Amino acid sequence: MRRDRAIFHQRGVDHIRWSWDGASWQDAPGALLDTGRLVNGGYTLRYQAVDGAGNTGPQQSVAFSVNTNLQISRLYLPMTNR
């Protein structure tokens, strides 16, 4: 998965209703929401799962930040046999 994209996945849904501002909503077909490339900043994504019969799940939200300027460091620890 690319680090500069936000992808949200829900099981058993026909489509996902989603909104950045809580006022204007969009439908994303299927159970995968791809927000596209995001710029640096803070986001609050509101979303709601809808099944094939039109039943809706509770509205959920997730807040997150995107910072493409962060340096990624990895540390590898040696494995020892006991």
pLDDT tens for each residue of 1-34: 445 555 555 557 899 999 998 889 999 998 888 8
| Amino acid at site 9 | H
Ordered by start, the domain boundaries in the chain are 5-66
Q: What confidence tens digit (pLDDT) does each residue in 19-78 have?
A: 998 889 999 998 888 888 889 999 999 999 998 888 999 999 999 998 888 887 777 777
Cα–Cα separations (whole angstroms), residue 18 to 9, 40, 75, 76, 81: 12, 20, 37, 39, 50
Residue that the structure tokens 């809706």 belong to: 56
pTM of the model: 0.64
